[in-house]
């Protein structure tokens, strides 16, 4: 990392952003915006300013420019036996804001992503309802719909980190998460259409939801959640769901573990009791320190991670202004505060939330700070509207032992070195 380059790039910024106004200089620090000699990007005519660009029809559906082709989903081949029943990870280290573009939002499927046409789509509601119903996609489009932003986190996110620091990158340690604006119909609306009187007292009733793929990924959801904020969604970020996210219709179960967000949703059965399917017994159950298993931990507790700097997003500039940024979320509601530590949790500074925390959605935080090239043990700690504080790894292990996989929401540490590189570490 040459100091020359640093000065050069800052010079360019200073010139373009108007060093004359003084504002740029104030941000960059005294001297940083001073000219370092002629910059060909400023003094010479460039190709892009003299020739013509692409016509409007070159990319009827656009992809990111080629210079961004490293901002992609990645998998960890050794994690699963094959790529069909597998997982890949959102490049959270390279994104900003809160909305995850569908094209790089993590995928998790148990029997592969299926191709299901809207015309072939059917959704059945049966079981303890007055009138069992079957909806086509066109039927669903005629119900009043809502737009809501939610995060979806796989319960296995950060699951490899229980025993010690494992994977070197926020994408791999925390990338089983995405955050999208869903368009959908409240599940309550469809259940009421089928009539719930036949179910009697709803207090102890359940809905069993399953997908059209071979795995079916069946899950039981208690009725109070089903009637609360669950959506039957058919659009994400304004456009149709991608195949891999459940086209044409998926379930959105705000704040609860990703496994319950059934894709290619085909059936909703109102039941007397939980079905106790594979996905809610032998899988997605937490092994505790004493060897017993804790079942049904649906809610994703408050969690956060610094996305930059991080192992895949090292500091590429010298001393001076540094933007530390990351994501925070809680399945219990809104994030109210995020603290950042540079010394492994000894001292904390309160970060700036880009926007007030939203209900069960990602919150972006920033710490606009100064870096003097010192070693940092970077951490972030989230708090939510219930007063819950994200635990340290040590605190979590006291309750859960070391044999857990799911629901690891502990504080993450990155060791940022004087050369700007960062590494996944654990502090005691």
Ligand X SMILES: Nc1nc2c(c(=O)[nH]1)N[C@H]1C(S)=C(S)[C@@H](COP(=O)(O)O)O[C@H]1N2
Binding site for ligand X (CB under 6 A): 105-110, 152, 154, 178, 211, 213, 215, 217, 244-245, 258-259, 261-264
**R_g of the chain computed on alpha carbons:** 24
Rounded to an integer, what distance in angstroms lies between the CA atom of residue 262 and that of residue 219? 8
| CB-nearer residue toward ligand X: 233 or 422 | 233
Report the nearest approach of ligand X to the CB of residue 152 (Å).
Answer: 6
245 binds, among Mo ion, ligand X, none (CB under 5 to 8 A by kind): ligand X
110 binds, among Mo ion, ligand X, none (CB under 5 to 8 A by kind): ligand X
215 binds, among ligand X, Mo ion, none (CB under 5 to 8 A by kind): ligand X
Q: How far is CA 234 from CA 41, 100, 230, 262, in A?
A: 46, 16, 13, 12
Stretch that binds Mo ion, among 11-19, 48-56, 257-265, 386-394 (CB under 5 A): 257-265
Report the nearest approach of ligand X to the CB of residue 225 (Å).
Answer: 16
Rounded to an integer, what distance in angstroms lies between the CA atom of residue 5 and that of residue 126? 65
At 259 the three-state DSSP class reads helix
Report the nearest approach of ligand X to the CB of residue 109 (Å).
Answer: 4
Q: Of 99, 154, 249, 396, which one interacts with Mo ion (CB under 5 A)? A: 154
Rounded to an integer, what distance in angstroms lies between the CA atom of residue 255 and that of residue 102? 19
Tokens of 145: 């719909």
264 binds, among Mo ion, ligand X, none (CB under 5 to 8 A by kind): ligand X
Stretch that binds Mo ion, among 65-73, 89-97, 151-159, 372-380 (CB under 5 A): 151-159
Task: Decide: 129 and 198 in contact? Cβ < 8 Å.
Answer: yes
DSSP H/E element including 232:
strand 231-236
Rounded to an integer, what distance in angstroms lies between the CA atom of residue 172 and that of residue 160? 9
| CB-nearer residue toward ligand X: 247 or 365 | 247
Report the nearest approach of ligand X to the CB of residue 415 (Å).
Answer: 29
The 3-class SS string of 4-18 reads HHHHHHHHHHHHHCC
| CB-nearer residue toward ligand X: 73 or 337 | 73
Least Cα distance to 360 among 156, 98, 93, 88 occurs for: 98
| CB-nearer residue toward Mo ion: 408 or 413 | 408
In the stretch 25-64, what mask flags binding to Mo ion with x, by CB under 5 A?
Answer: ----------------------------------------
Report the nearest approach of ligand X to the CB of residue 294 (Å).
Answer: 18
Q: Of 183, 259, 308, 409, which one interacts with Mo ion (CB under 5 A)? A: 259
Report the nearest approach of ligand X to the CB of residue 194 (Å).
Answer: 21
211 binds, among ligand X, Mo ion, none (CB under 5 to 8 A by kind): ligand X
In the stretch 94-123, what mask flags binding to Mo ion with x, by CB under 5 A?
Answer: --------------x---------------
Task: Decide: 154 and 173 in contact? Cβ < 8 Å.
Answer: no
Tokens of 110: 């148990």
Query: Rounded to 5 degrees, what are φ and ψ at 414?
Result: -115, 130
Rounded to an integer, what distance in angstroms lies between the CA atom of residue 245 and that of residue 100? 12
Rounded to an integer, what distance in angstroms lies between the CA atom of residue 86 and that of residue 84? 5
Rounded to an integer, what distance in angstroms lies between the CA atom of residue 248 and that of residue 135? 13
| CB-nearer residue toward ligand X: 226 or 351 | 226
Report the nearest approach of Mo ion to the CB of residue 286 (Å).
Answer: 14
106 binds, among Mo ion, ligand X, none (CB under 5 to 8 A by kind): ligand X
What's the angle, vertex CA 179, arms to CA 177 and CA 183, rounded to 5?
135
| CB-nearer residue toward Mo ion: 185 or 230 | 230
Q: Which residues would be at the binding site for Mo ion (CB under 5 A)?
A: 108, 154, 258-259
């Amino acid at each position: 990392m040459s100091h020359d380059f640093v000065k050069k790039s800052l010079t360019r910024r200073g010139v373009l952003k108007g060093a004359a106004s003084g504002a740029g200089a104030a941000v960059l620090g005294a001297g940083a915006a001073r000219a370092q000699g002629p910059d060909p990007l400023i003094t010479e005519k460039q190709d892009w300013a003299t020739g013509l660009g692409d016509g409007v029809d070159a990319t009827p559906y656009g992809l990111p420019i080629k210079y961004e082709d490293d901002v992609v989903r990645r998998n960890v081949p050794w994690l699963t036996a094959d790529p069909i029943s597998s997982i890949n990870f959102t490049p959270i280290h390279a994104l900003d804001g809160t909305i995850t573009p569908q094209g790089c939002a993590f995928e998790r499927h148990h029997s592969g992503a299926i191709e299901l046409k809207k015309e072939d789509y059917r959704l059945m509601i049966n079981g303890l309802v007055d009138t069992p119903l079957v909806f086509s996609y066109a039927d669903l489009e005629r119900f009043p719909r809502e737009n809501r932003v939610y995060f979806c986190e796989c319960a296995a996110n950060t699951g490899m980190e229980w025993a010690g620091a494992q994977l070197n990158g926020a994408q791999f340690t925390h990338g089983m998460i995405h955050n999208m604006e869903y368009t959908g119909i409240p599940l309550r609306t469809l259940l009421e259409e089928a009539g719930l009187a036949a179910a009697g007292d709803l207090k102890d009733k359940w809905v069993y939801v399953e997908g059209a793929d071979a795995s079916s990924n069946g899950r039981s959801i208690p009725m109070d959640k089903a009637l609360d904020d669950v959506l039957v969604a058919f659009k994400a970020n304004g456009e149709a769901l991608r195949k891999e996210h459940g086209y044409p219709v998926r379930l959105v179960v705000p704040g609860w573990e990703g496994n319950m967000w059934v894709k290619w949703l085909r059936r909703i059965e109102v039941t007397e009791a939980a079905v106790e399917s594979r996905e809610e017994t032998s899988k997605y159950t937490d092994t505790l320190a004493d060897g017993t298993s804790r079942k049904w931990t649906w809610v994703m507790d408050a969690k956060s991670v610094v996305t930059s700097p991080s192992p895949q997003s090292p500091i590429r500039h010298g001393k001076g202004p540094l933007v530390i940024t990351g994501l925070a979320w809680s399945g219990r509601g809104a994030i109210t505060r995020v603290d950042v530590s540079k010394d492994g949790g000894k001292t904390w500074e309160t970060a700036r939330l880009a926007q007030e925390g939203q209900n069960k959605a990602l919150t972006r935080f920033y710490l606009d700070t100064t870096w003097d090239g010192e070693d940092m043990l970077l951490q972030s700690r989230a708090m939510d509207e219930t007063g819950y504080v994200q635990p340290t790894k040590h605190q979590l292990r006291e309750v859960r032992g070391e044999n857990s996989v799911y629901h690891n929401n502990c504080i993450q540490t990155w060791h940022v070195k004087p050369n700007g590189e960062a590494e996944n570490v654990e502090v005691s």
